[in-house]
Every structure is written in C-alpha cells, then in structure tokens.
Amino acid sequence: MAIAINGLSLGAIYALIALGYTMVYGIAKMLNFAHGDVIMVGAYIIYTMCTFTWNLGSMPIWLSSLISFVVAVAVCTILGIVIEKVAYKPLRGASPLAALITAIGVSYLLQGIAQLIWGADQRTISILDRLGTVSLGDVVIKWSAIITVVVGAIIMVCLVLFIKRTRTGRAMLAVSEDKGAAQMMGVNVNAIVSTTFAIGSGLATFASLFYLPITSVSPTLGAMPGIKAFAAAVIGGIGSIPGAMLGGVLLGVVEVVCNSISAVASYTTAIEFALLIIILLVRPIGLLGKKRRVKV
Amino acid sequence: MAEMTTKKNRFQNGKWKNYISYIVIIIFLAILIIINLTKGLGFSDKSTLPRIAFSCILAVSLNLVVGFLGELSLGHAGFMCVGAYLGCYTANVLRTSGNIPELVTIILSMLVAGVVAAVFGFIIGLPALRLKGDYLAIATLAFGEIVRCIFKNLPFFGGAMGMSTKLYDGNTLFIIAFITLLFVVFCCQNLINSKHGRAVVAIRDNEIAAKAMGINVTYYKLLIFMVAAFFAGMAGVLYGATIGTIRQETFSYNYSIEILVMVVLGGMGSINGSLIAAAVITWLNITLQSQLSGALAPVKSIVYALILIIIVVFSNAPAMKGFRESINPRNWRKKTEDAGKIKNDAAAWDRIPTKIRMDDPLSVDTRTTYADSPVPPDVVVKNRDELYVKEETGKEEE
C-alpha cells in the first residue's frame, strides 16, 4: 500500500515533467534538455522564497508557502518563455540537432547560474513534509505523497480538458500536426509555441514542489528526474499526452518497487532504462505513440 | 601511367583534405616531442595533451555514427566506460602477472577494451535497426546509463569508489595517445573512402533507396556501431592512463553529449572538423577549469554554455544566413566571379549549391541533395534561403 502510493506519487512527478517534454516535442519537434533545469530553478525559488517569507513571520506558514509557490510558478513560466525566445526561436527552421545543442547549452547555463547564486552545497527544506503522515491500519503514508497523487491527477485532467476543449489547446494540436497548415489557417504559431513552453515550465514547477520532500536542493537536482521523465515520455510515445502520463506512472512505480527490494535496489536505474529499451524494441513508437508512414 | 592520373585527380578533387589531418597531427606531435626533449613540457601540458588526443578519438568515432551513418547516439560515453574499465583491468592484471613489456601491455589492453566495447556496440546496434531518430537517441542514452549503473555495482572494478590504474609517465603518454589518434583517423578515413563507407553514406541519405539498391543495411549499421564502439573503448584506456582513477560518474550522459557537441560543432560528416572542434573544446574546457577555480568555478560552465549557444545560434539560425555568407571568404571570390558572368547560365548550377556543406560546415542538414532539386536551371540562386523557398514550393506543387 505504502509502496503503491509512493510509486504513484513519484510517477505523478515524472508524469508532470514528462508532459513538459512531450508537449514541447510535439510542438517544436525538439528535445528540450533544459527542462530538468527548469525544475531545479523552480525548487531553488521555492526554497529561497519560503525561507525568506517564513523568517518575516507576519503570515501563517501555509499562506507564505503558497505565495512562494505562486511566485516560483510565475518565474519558471517566464523563464520558459525567455528560453524559448532567446535560444530556440532563432533556430526554428534549422536542423533539430542545432536546437538540441542550444538546449544543452541552456542547461549548463542554468546550472552554472544556480551554482553562482546559491552555491554548490545541498540544502533541504520541508514544505509538504510539515503536513506529517497519516496511518491507515498498519501502513504509514506521507501526506505529501497523497497530495502529489491527487494534485497530479487533477492537473492532468485539467490539461487534457484544456487541450481538447479550448481554442488554444486545439491550436496546439493543430501546430503539432502540421505547422505550416496551422499557420495558413490563421493560428499564431509563435504564440502557441510560447504558450507550450510556458505550460511545460509551469508544470515543471509543480514537479519541483512535489519533488522537494524526496530530495535536497542542489544545482544538479534536475538532471536525473529530467532524464527519467524524458525516458517516461518516450515509453509513452513522445508527443502523446496520455502517453506521457502512462509512461511517468509506470516508471515511478517500477522505481519505487525496485528500490524496495534490497537485492535489486542498487540496479534500479539500470532496470528502468532496460525497461525503456525493451519497450522501444517491442513497440518502437512508444506505448501510445502514433505511427507515421515513411515514404521514399 | 593510369595510376598516376588517378592520383593526380584525387588531389584535384579536394581529396588532399584527407591527408592534411595526418600531416598536421604528425607535425604537431613532432614539435611536441622536440619541445619536450629540449625544454621539457610543463606538467599541465602533459596531462592536457592526452586528453585532447582521446577527445579527438571520441569525436571522430562518434562522427562515424552521427555524421556518416546519420543516427543520433547519446551513449558514446558508455562504450568509453566499458573500454576504460576492461582495458585498465587487463593492464593491471598483465602488470602484476610478470615482466611483460609495457608496449605489449598497452596494445593488449587497448585491444581487449576495443573488442569488448565493440561487442557492446553490436548489442546497442541491434535496437538501431528498429529505432529511428530521437527514439534511438534515448535508447542509446539509456544504454549508457545502464552500463554506468552496472559498473558502479561490480565489486572487482572498485564499485562506487572507482578503479585505480597505473598512471603513465607523462613523457610517453602523449606520444602513445597521439599515435593512437593517428591510427584511428587513418582507419576512419579509409573506411569512409571505401566501398563500405559509400554504402554507409547511402544509407544515411536514404535508407529505403539504399536497401532497394541491394545494400545490406543490417550489416553496415552494425559495422559502424561496432567500429565506433571499438575506438571509443580505446579512448577509454587512454582516459584511464591519463586520469589514474576510473570513476563511473565521469561517463554519464553529459559526457556523451559533450562528445556530440564536438561532432556537431566540427561539422557532421567531417573528420577534420571533428578533430579541430574536439581539440578546441577540450582545450577551452581545461583552460577555463584551471583559470576559474574555487568560487569562480560556476563561471566556467556559464562561459562554456554561452560560447556554445552563441556559436550554434550564429552558425545555424536562418536569420543569420546573410551575415554568415557575407563573412565567408569563399563567397567574396564567388561574388566577383559571378559578377563577370552571364546570369541565365545553365552551368550556374555547378557553381552554386553543390558545396553547401563545405560553405556551411556547421550545417547539419546533410541529407538534402541539391543537385536534383526542382529549381529550373535558369534561375540564379544567390543564397541558400532562396533555394530552400523554391525547393519547398516545388514540393507543394507535386
């Protein structure tokens, strides 16, 4: 039971990050390697704002934490848009590999700046952990895990509704299908790409809030969840939003289950990535990916 | 007689570029040896030089996969990891087992490293037969992480603490490293200019068409993955000999990406480009690291990242195309040539887009062949932008 909830909560984190990867891939056809570092920036801003507002002491802790979180979401959203405008937009129309390399450059840049501002040492902060635990019979579950699962599920439902029901969402689908045709139909492609990056970065901030109870804040915080969420996006079929959720949850559950078995705990990463390779070999387009025909 | 003319043609066709890398490496090595014998190189130079050499080996071998086979691989550091561990393990065993000459030890360890890495290359080449593009990229990345995770947990390789190996004497190590580099460049050049190499390039340009022409795609893909892995394994041994302690953290996907950066900046499908980019980037990295230490250490990654972004945006952004062409010395000459000639000249074709890859070494879009583009030959194409536009409209009309 505890394993299931923990697995689902880690899965929800991965799914939130994977959504950012998969949406950007669908729209811009590029691997956004800097996505993991947006999580790191989000975590640092939450950390800084929380310690600052808590020390002021004029507000109740839940309110100041909420304000810090909202600020972090705003900053990361703006950061996502700025990254897109400065580093990726000039390269639209160039080869995808060029964009991949600037994404790596942005990733190094964010890590370097974070290290310059906050230093390389690890810091811990408990925000969601303050809620304590709940015991159901014999098992003790952290409230933070439950909140992660519930909020993660709500966000994903909202995102699916947003994409299916709203004008902007449908415009996103149209752009990911065919950029040129969408532009001819009057879709403002630049605005849609910016929106995608903004949503992806906003989701990443949620992920950083939920990730804080599990890890400590450091400049390389984003690297491993970033790469695992990327794997999750590929398992689900990159470009597919339900696929990213499925892949994220699958990977999260596998990771927690493997970690709980002591014989294989140290090989968890290897098992996760082996799972990725096996799924790709059986189904090269991912679990829920769309097949494209190749013509000569 | 016939042989002589072909040789002459080779040089005329620009094949001399194949030999310039050997000449440059040999001259460079000779100068270094002379300096070392007369003045003596500094300690930092002695550790920098082998690092430049094995970075060059890695970049050239990755270029086989990315530039010539056209598959994106993010697991090159994984092969290097395999080679470093097994090669240095072999060397350690050979050294303890008795008085085997040092030269034999190093050759044997490199051979073992290369062969084992090639076996891993075969294993990772198998998914490459089924996966395309970004999916293959993530599969290779996953492979690299798996290898790292396994070596972290194997007790006889030192586990998480890392495995120590004998540090080579700085006076011989850089010579060994550069001779290995020479060997690798020699092998790659000859592979690429052979029947095999042409088949590989054909697969890159159009896999289905290559298959239809009777090229055994399975064989060539596996071959390239294995050869690249072999060289990466050898580079791993050099790494171990230079650094002294092999730790699995080094071989994370970040390292693979760093090698990929060298390949892309040097120009996909250009061995000379890879050599130059690898040397410059490694040197830059080491210099920044030594200049900016302590509290300024993060500045290193900021400077490195900014240089990376600026170079890529500058050299790839469609908006920068006019500026790039205006500063390219080749185009100055071309402009004056073009000015004197008739505009609607059918032969204008030969002059304009065929050498685009050379004009624009950082362009990664090597897959398009401009020779059979649907633009009518009476249009004088002044720059690539126009060519792109016309090509696209031509496609839509179909």
Q: In chain A, which residue's Cα lies nearest the Cα of B149? A: A270
Q: What one-character DSSP code corresponds to residue A133?
A: E
Q: Which amino acid is at B341?
A: K
Query: Is residue B301 one of the residues assigned to a domain?
Result: no
CB contact under 8 A, B135 and A280: yes
- Structural domain including A98 reads 16-145+158-228
Residue A293 placed within a domain: no
ipTM higher than the 0.85 cut: no
Q: Does B299 touch chain A (CB under 8 A)?
A: yes
Contact B137 A87 (CB under 8 A): no
pLDDT the model gives residue B187: 92
Residue A248 is predicted with a pLDDT of 92
Q: Do B119 and B232 lie in a common domain?
A: yes
Give per-residue pLDDT as tens, A64-87: 888 889 999 999 999 999 999 988
Measured in degrees and rounded to the nearest 5, phi and psi for residue A31 equal -85, 115
Q: Are residues B342 and B291 in the same domain?
A: no
Residues B159 and B248 in one domain: yes
**Angle value at C-alpha A207, between A204 and A210, nearest 5 degrees:** 155
Number of structural domains chain A divides into: 1
What residue type is assigned to position A41 of the chain?
V
The pair of structure tokens assigned to B222 is: 């596996």
Nearest to A296 among B145, B206, B261 (CB): B206
Q: What is the CATH number of the domain that holds B134?
A: 1.10.3470
Residues of the domain holding B57? 20-295
Inside any domain, residue B304: no
User: Going by DSSP bridges, is the β-strand pair B163-164/A139-142 parallel, antiparallel, or unpaired?
Assistant: unpaired
How far A58 CA lies from chain B's nearest CA (Å)?
35
B186/B265 same-domain check: yes
Secondary structure (3-state) at A123 = strand
Task: Look at residues B295, B330, B349 and tell me which one is the last residue of a structural domain.
Answer: B295
pLDDT of B3 reads 46
Q: Please tell me the total count of domains within chain B.
A: 2
| B263 and B362 part of one domain | no
**Based on the domain organization, do B277 and B350 belong to the same domain?**
no
A42/chain B closest Cα distance in angstroms: 19
**Interface-testing mutation among B66, B131, B135, with chain A (most A C-beta atoms within 10 A):** B135
If we measure between CA atoms, which residue out of B126, B272, B138, B248 comes closest to residue B192? B272
Averaged pLDDT in 10-residue chunks for chain B of 398 residues: 47 62 82 78 78 93 91 90 90 81 85 94 83 81 89 78 73 85 91 91 90 91 94 92 84 88 86 91 86 75 84 79 73 59 50 47 47 49 49 43
- Whether B242 and B377 map to the same domain: the answer is no
**With pLDDT > 90 as the criterion, what percentage of chain A qualifies?**
28
Q: What is the pLDDT of residue B226?
A: 94
Same domain, B326 and B291: no
Nearest residue in chain B measured CA to CA from A286: B135
Q: Are B318 and A112 in contact (CB under 8 A)?
A: no
The residue-averaged pLDDT of A206-223 equals 86
What is the signed CA dihedral for B299, B301, B302, B308, rounded to 10 degrees?
A: 140
Query: What is the per-residue pLDDT for A293?
Result: 62
In whole angstroms, give the CA distance from residue B307 to residue B310: 5
A213 domain residue, yes or no: yes
Rounded to an integer, what distance in angstroms lies between the CA atom of residue A162 and that of residue A169?
Answer: 6
Q: What is the pLDDT of residue B13?
A: 52
Mean pLDDT over the full length of chain A: 86
What pLDDT, on the 0 to 100 scale, is given for residue A295?
55
Cβ within 8 Å, pair B127-A281: yes
Listed residue (A42, A22, A44) closest to A32, CA to CA: A22
Is residue B308 within a helix (H) or strand (E), and if so which, with residue range? Answer: helix B297-316
